[in-house]
Structure 1
Amino acid sequence: MQADLPRRLAAEALGTGILVATVIGSGIMADRLTDDVALALLGNTLPTGAILVVLITILGPLSGAHFNPAVTLVFALRREIETYAAMTYVAAQIAGGILGALLAHAMFELPILQASTTVRSGAAQWLAEGVASFGLVFTILAGLRFRSDAIPWLVGLYITAAYWFTASTSFANPAVAIARAFTDTFAGIRPVDLPGFIVAELIGALLAMVVAGWMLAAPKSMLETRPAE
């Protein structure tokens, strides 16, 4: 059973904050430990996938563990979360994500307030974000349809894989993208590049909702399709 709205919002803010702190913090740590970009990306990937398993498992019973405005949008359109709650979820996710970025800086004794200068733009990057978000949302919806108990692992493993098969390293999350604009570290993205990423993420999520709605629909029974006698 879900908690009341204030506790649900706290869960969404906390979960998104810890997720962003993990993404940025592991990126900083990896960048400090090696000059090998591939190894640094691996050091960024594994903690992100692992923390998603943890966060979805422990906070999912409270809020549904969206941690992602694109996911919240899909659930709102499917009428599985009320409109007001969905809007407050998104606000909590964005605020939590930004605080997570600032926390990561504090833990590594970096300037708290930063703006990224990392260029992430272009058609290939936007396509990659659309693909990443499509896969994430489809994974969630298919997991709910067939193996709801496995969703923490499904999402964690999907993001772990998507870091490597997408050109954008799979942000797949507007709140995380916004938060990463506040860090000029390994995981950053220039603020000016955010609109393209966010639009691509939302399009990918909506496309996944449409495809999943058709592909995963329960088949009609023969009784329902038999002509009336």
Structure 2
Amino acid sequence: MTARPALARRALGEFLGTGLLVTVVVGSGIAAQRLSADTGLRLLENSIATAFGLAVLILLLGPVSGAHFNPVVSLMDAVLGRRDHTGLPGRDLAVYMAVQVLGAIAGAVLANAMFSVPTVISATQRATPGTLLGEVVATAGLVLLIAGLSRACATLPQIAAAVGAYIGSAYWFTSSTSFANPAVTIGRIFTDTFAGIAPASVLPYLAAQLVGAAIGIALTLLLFPTTSTTTVPAVALVPSDMEEAS
């Protein structure tokens, strides 16, 4: 059985993957804002680019880090894999979360730079009772989808396609346009463009995402109480409890 990549290489994969995901979200939002006057058309353009971009990044970096790109996915990995020691250990979880947040911020800065937009704090207020409920629903669905497919022995391409499709559709069926990712939420503070979010809205969004993650984990345990694979991680195809490659 092949040893999983060393933590440093996996951390780089998570940094790049989360960063490029935010670059896709923010960059396509800026392009849509410039190309289209209609808000609905802008959202369509933004959601299509995000869905495809996310699927590609999962396919590319899944074999390296598991392609979590999301602190709640990493947390789900650690929680669901705790009993049989297949989940992320505490040190790895902390590293994953840190590089995901740093990558998300870097991704927003990169997107701004490509479109010659200044990196400033967003003024877009998003937190309302309805959008927070939307974040709970979006995050719970995402966690359940990833954990359920992993436990059902889905392949990497199947998971990549399903996650991309879910996020693309959740842009539309949730009132929040489905951030469903604490790192991406923090990264989107740093662009005052179509995809931005004001700092005052971030803490409520993060709280809603944690609630959604807890619901998603609980539903996974009810619907998929056992796993038919050796791994619980989001898209990882190698167990988290194996020794690191030297």
TM above 0.5, one fold?
Answer: yes
Question: RCO greater where, 1 or 2, for CA within 8 Å and sep 6 or more?
Answer: 2
Identity %: 46
Q: Partner of 2:117 in structure 1? A: 110
Q: Partner of 1:11 in structure 2? A: 13
C-alpha spacing 1:180/1:163, structure 2 compared with 1 (3 Å): same
Map 1:100-139 → 2, pairs under 5 A: 100-111=107-118, 113-139=119-145
- Which SS does the other structure have where 1:179 is aligned? helix
Structure number with larger C-alpha Rg: 1
Deviation at 1:91, TM superposition (A): 0.3
Q: Partner of 1:226 in structure 2? A: none
Q: How many residues align?
A: 218
Instruction: Specify every segment of 5 or more residues in structure 2 that has no aligned partner in the other structure, as ranges.
Output: 228-246
CA distance in structure 2 between the partners assigned to 1:173 and 1:40 by the alignment: 21
Q: Partner of 2:78 in structure 1? A: 76
Question: Do structure 1's residue 35 and structure 2's residue 33 form an aligned pair?
Answer: no
Q: CA RMSD of the aligned region, Å?
A: 1.1
Question: Do structure 1's residue 96 and structure 2's residue 98 form an aligned pair?
Answer: no
- Which SS does the other structure have where 2:190 is aligned? coil
Instruction: Specify every segment of 5 or more residues in structure 1 that has no aligned partner in the other structure, as ranges.
Output: 220-229
Greater than 6 Å deviation, 4+ residue runs = none
CA distance in structure 1 between the partners assigned to 2:65 and 2:140 by the alignment: 22
Deviation at 1:147, TM superposition (A): 4.4
CA distance in structure 1 between the partners assigned to 2:36 and 2:69 by the alignment: 30
Question: Do structure 1's residue 165 and structure 2's residue 173 form an aligned pair?
Answer: yes
Deviations 1:61-101 (A, max 9, x none): 11111000111111111221101100010000000000000
Whether the 8 Å contact between 2:151 and 2:226 is mirrored in structure 1 is no
Q: Partner of 1:87 in structure 2? A: 94
Map 1:171-210 → 2, pairs under 5 A: 171-210=179-218
CA distance in structure 2 between the partners assigned to 1:73 and 1:52 by the alignment: 19
Q: Partner of 1:20 in structure 2? A: 22
C-alpha spacing 1:218/1:85, structure 2 compared with 1 (3 Å): closer
Deviation at 1:13, TM superposition (A): 0.3
CA distance in structure 2 between the partners assigned to 1:62 and 1:114 by the alignment: 33
Deviation at 1:2, TM superposition (A): 2.6
Q: Partner of 2:243 in structure 1? A: none
More off after superposition, 141-150 vs 203-212: 141-150
Deviations 1:178-202 (A, max 9, x none): 0001110000110111000001001
More helix by share: 1
The amino acid of 2:13's aligned partner reads A
CA distance in structure 1 between the partners assigned to 2:120 and 2:192 by the alignment: 6
Q: How does the TM-score come out when normalised to structure 1?
A: 0.93
Q: Partner of 1:227 in structure 2? A: none
